[in-house]
Structure formats: structure tokens, C-alpha cells
Amino acid sequence: MSAGSVYDQLQRENKRASRFLLIGSVLIAAVMVWVVAGAMGVPVLDPVIGVSVTAVGTAVGLLFVLAAARSGPSIALRAAKAREVPREEAPELHNLFDEVCVAAGIMGTKPKLYVVDDPAPNAFATGRSLEDSHVVVTTGLIERLPRYELRAVLAHEVAHILNDDIRTVTLAVATAGLVALLADVMVRFMILGGGRRGGRSSGGGGGGGAQALFLLLGVFAMILAPLAAQVIRFAVSRQREYLADATAADLLRDPQSMVNALRRIDSDHTNLREFEVATAHLWFEEPNDTDPGHGRAAKMARRFATHPSIRERVERLATLNAGTVRTDAPLPPPPPPESRGYQ
């Protein structure tokens, strides 16, 4: 199989994963709506009422959450303390970014370029569409990576935009938010409604039994649903990292620089000074180092990791570009401290 068809295959898988992610999280949200409605005493076991209440409830909830998610990118930028960087301030960075954009054919709709003051080498992309997209790099990345490796990381971020990951992830986060919200509603309902319900159920008949059952279901859902939503979200975001690496290497026809950049960043253990768990999945590398051990805690941490291990990413890239990439060669020296004219 040629590199091109492997790449097409990956892209198809990415699209399928996007659908799976969206359908899966909407289903979880729908089940939550159903359970919450049931616990509140709505006769959801009746097929007509059950289906219509669940459908309408989920649709309204999603609409609200999506409306809120429209401001997601600007919140992410603010949380990371990113500021837009003009060309005069970092001419080389802009040159490299132009090289990536021209190869991607998006010179007409170039994403905005931002910098975060942070010594940890990292980067992320966010936005609602190609026309409204943002690429963020840390000053640590600019200072530590040689020219072509820095370009490879920029290409990885642009790849997230090209592959429509930024929108999918925003939607996924929004749906996970809805599930969390519903779980919260459930908790409040149980605490506040508990006393009142006691009085009412003495007068009620069989409805009380069903409601009790739903309350029990609600307890389970409350615990499990947010967890399930997170697991889906993380599994799918890991898959995206592989594809973005591959897309970036393919765009620039320079897989070696991508591999080198990954290896260099792997050997660097500076953690980001400021990051929110909510935006962890956005970054190029997991913002805080996870324990690479074999203990139960380490395994659990990896299950909830937003990114695959860098070693795994390097291996996949090397397989995809078999014969043209070296993963054991010594890395080229980092740039001299003052060379970027930027601190």
C-alpha cells in the first residue's frame, strides 16, 4: 500500500471516529435525560411520552450547550493566557507558519498565531472552523526547537484544523458538559426534592415505585455517565494525535523533523505552568507528565490521558514512513538562545 492510501485510510477512520464520538455522547446525554425525567416523576416508561420527552429534552439541552460552546475557543485562549503575536515580533515563527499554510493551501484563510509565555515546549490549536481558527505555541517551544522541528509542530496544529478536529472536539466537550450538567441536576433534585417527595408519595400509587427505580438508576447514571463521556472523549482525542502527526509529516514531506520534534519534546520534562484540565486535550503534548510505570494508578492515568505516549507516536510515524525515518539518530543541536530574536 502506498503512503497516500494509508493516509486516506487514516482520514476515513478519523471521520468515522468523529461520528462515533458525536453519536455516542448524544446517546449518553439522551439516556441521562430519560433517567432524570423518570426520577422527576415523568411517566417515561410509556413509549410515546418517553421517546418524545427524551428527544425534546436532549435536543433543547444540546442546543443550549452548543450555543455556549461557540465561545469555547476564546475561553481556551484566555485560560492559556495566549496573546496574538505580530510578525515584527517573531519574523521567523511567522515565516515557518507561512510555509506550513502554503503547503496546506490555506494561505487565504490563515489561522491566527498566538504565543503563551511558558518554558514548557507545547502548542495547541482551537477554533470553530477554518475561518475562525487559532494556533498557539509556548515561548519554550520557540526557544528549544530547531527551525524544521518547530515547523513540524506548527504543521501538527494546522493538521488538527484541516482534519476538522477542532470542531469535533469542541462539540464533544460541549456534550460532555451537558452530561455533567444533567448529573448535577440529578444530585440537586435528590438533595432538595427528597423531603417533599416523601409527603407526596404517600398519596401516590404505583407511580412511586417506578420513580424510586429511576432514582436508583439515577444514582448509577450520575456516577457512570460523566465517566463514560470522558472515556469516549479521551479515546477519540488520542486517535486524532496520530493522524495529526501523519498529516503534518505528509504536508511538509518531512517526517524526520516530526519524529525529531516528538523525541526532543519527550526528553523535556518541564510542565506547563498554567493549564486547565478542561483544555488538556488541546495541547500538542499532555500538559503534565504522567507516570510511565506499570502500577494500577499509572494504568488508570493512561486510560484518562488525552494523548498517547510520545514513544507510541514516534513508532507509528516510523511505521508509516518506513525506510525514510530514523528514530535512533542523535538529535540536531537546539538553536542558540538568542537566535530567534524572541524571548
Partner 1 sequence: MLWFALVLLLLLVGIVGWVVAGYNRLVRSRVRIDEAWAQIDTQLQRRHDLIPNLVNTVKGYAAHERETFEEVTAARAKAISVQGPADLAEAENGLTQALGKLLAITENYPELKADQNFRQLQEELAHTENMVAGARGHYNASVRDYDTARKVFPTSVIAGMFNFEDREYFEVETVEVRQAPNVSFE
List the catalytic residues: 157
DSSP letter at 340 equals T
CB 85 within 8 A of CB 114: yes
Dihedral sign, Cα of residue 238, residue 3, residue 318, residue 269: negative
| Residues with Cβ within 8 Å of residue 9, at least 6 apart in sequence | none
| Of residues 92 and 164, the one with the C-beta less far from partner 1 | 92
Helix (H) or strand (E) holding 83: strand 83-84
CA 62, CA 72: separation in Å to the nearest integer?
15
CA distances to 57, 65, 75, 84, 193 from 180, in Å: 15, 11, 19, 32, 19
Identify which of residues 29 and 100 has a Cβ nearer to partner 1 in the complex.
100
How far is Cα 288 from Cα 291, in angstroms, rounded to an integer?
Answer: 10
In the complex, the residues that contact partner 1 under the rule CB under 8 A are 92, 95, 98-100, 102-105, 107-108, 146-148, 251-253, 332
Question: Whose Cβ is closer to partner 1: residue 45's or residue 102's?
Answer: 102
Query: Which of 97, 124 has the CB closer to partner 1?
Result: 97
- Nearer to partner 1 by Cβ, of 195 and 337: the residue is 337
- Cβ at position 11, least distance to partner 1 in Å: 13
3-state secondary structure of 309: coil
> Do the Cβ atoms of 141 and 123 come closer than 8 Å?
yes
Cβ neighbourhood burial of 119 (10 Å; 0-12, 13-18, 19+): middle
* CB of 94 vs partner 1, minimal distance in Å: 10
Choose among 161, 310, 302: nearest CA to 231: 302
Q: Least Å distance between CB 10 and partner 1?
A: 16
| Closest approach of partner 1 to the CB of residue 102, in Å | 4
Q: Which three cell numbers stand for residue 103?
A: 503547503
Q: What is the largest CA-CA distance in the chain?
A: 80
Residue 258 CB, nearest distance to partner 1 (Å)?
Answer: 15
Judged by beta carbon, residue 81 or residue 147, the one nearer partner 1 is 147
Distance in angstroms (rounded) separating the CA atoms of residues 113 and 104? 16
In the complex, what is the shortest distance from the CB of residue 99 to partner 1, in angstroms, rounded to a whole number?
5
Query: What nine digits make up the cell of 91?
Result: 519574523
CB atoms within 10 A of CB 216: 12
C-alpha cell read off for 327: 528514530
- Whichever of 98 and 315 has its CB closer to partner 1, that residue is 98
Question: At closest approach, how far in Å is the CB of 247 from partner 1?
Answer: 12
For residue 72, the one-letter residue type is G
Sign of CA dihedral 129, 275, 231, 214: negative
